[in-house]
Amino acid sequence: MAYANALAVLADPTRRKVFERLRAGPRPVNALAAGLPVSRPAVSQHLKALKNAGLVEERSEGVRRIYSLRREGLMELRDWLDTFWDDALAAFKEEVEKT
Amino acid sequence: MAYANALAVLADPTRRKVFERLRAGPRPVNALAAGLPVSRPAVSQHLKALKNAGLVEERSEGVRRIYSLRREGLMELRDWLDTFWDDALAAFKEEVEKT
DNA sequence: CTAGCATGTAAGCAATCACTTACCGTTAGC
DNA sequence: GCTAACGGTAAGTGATTGCTTACATGCTAG
């Protein structure tokens, strides 16, 4: 049920913006916070949430913490989305849930 | 940016449960609310949110309102997710956003 | 060793949100 | 026409959440 966490975390616009910025590659917190309409501590908190959801990973580089995208964190969400197109599978799962 | 609404709406567990129940086919509100740990009005409110996000559609049948899944509402979210795997596209979009 | 930068954490606050109860309109059966 | 079932809406409330400022920690340069 990790897709639930991914959904909850990505629902916030600011947090999603931070996440999207990581598409361009690993970045330190300062770079991620630059230009955003919120304070740097706010971004730190968002990164913590993203990390807990398995959507980013962190590596220390001297005084910097370099955050990078973790695509595996999106896999479950992707799979969950797919269940809405595969009707046979969906019907089956629905049946299982009843028992 | 409809994927943003989809994310926000699907982030709530109860609302997601209602949405998932519709995988098994169209249902009236009563059926959707049955067994859920929340009141029927709460489900009505969730359905309204789902409808606003384009994730479900509603049809009247006598005194009943039959809700059904609207898979097109998930398309943008699916596409957005895909942008995280296509690195070339991602880099391009990132570049565009800067200007 | 001290100054300064980069970042995480704590505390507090205002806004949002999901929920409840109460109520209202609408359709169907007798 | 009454009456009951179905379901949308209003108002109020407690919990959650995202934000801010202030502070604590850790690394590095000189």
A26-65: pLDDT as tens digits: 999 999 999 999 999 999 999 999 999 999 999 999 999 9
The structure's pTM equals: 0.87
At residue B86, the pLDDT reads 73
B94 touches chain A (CB under 8 A): yes
Please answer whether residues A66 and A27 qualify as being in contact, where contact means their C-beta atoms are separated by less than 8 angstroms. yes
Nearest chain A CA: its distance from B94 CA (Å): 6
Residues near B41 by beta carbon (within 8 Å), at least 6 away in sequence: none
Residue B41 burial (CB count, 10 A): 10
Task: Identify the pLDDT of residue A64.
Answer: 97
Smallest CA–CA distance, residue A77 to chain B, in Å, is: 9
pLDDT recorded at residue B1: 81
Q: Is the CB of A96 under 7 A from strand C?
A: no
Q: Which residues of A touch B4 (CB under 8 A)?
A: 13, 16
pLDDT band with cut points at 50, 70 and 90 for residue A3? very high
Burial class (CB in 10 A: 0-12, 13-18, 19+), A85: exposed
Question: How far apart (Å, rounded) are the C-alpha atoms in residues B66 and B41?
Answer: 15
Q: Which residue reads 């129940």 in tokens?
A: B21
Q: Is B17:B34 a contact under the CB 8 Å cutoff?
A: no
Pick among B81, B95, B97 to test the A interface (most A CBs inside 10 A): B81
pLDDT tens track for A14-27? 999 999 999 999 99
Nearest to A71 among B4, B77, B85 (CB): B85
Pick from B90, B70, B68: nearest CA to B79: B90
Q: Verify if strand C has an atom below 7 Å from the CB of B31.
A: no
Backbone angles phi, psi at A70, to 5 degrees: -130, 95
Low-confidence residues in chain B, pLDDT < 50: none
| pLDDT of amino acid B85 | 87
CA of A46 to C1' of D18 (A): 9
Structure-block tokens of residue A10: 């990505």
Q: What's the alpha-carbon Rg for chain B, to the nearest Å?
A: 17
Contacts of B11 in chain A (CB under 8 A): 7-8, 10-11
CA distance linking residue A75 with residue A55, whole number of Å? 10
- Torsion sign over Cα A46, A47, A49, A54: positive
Q: Residue B12 corresponds to which tokens in the numbers above?
A: 């709530």
Confidence at residue A93, expressed as pLDDT on a 0 to 100 scale: 58
Q: Report the residue from A77, A83, A85 with minimal CB separation from B81.
A: A77
HSE of B44 in the Cβ direction (CA atoms, 13 Å)?
6
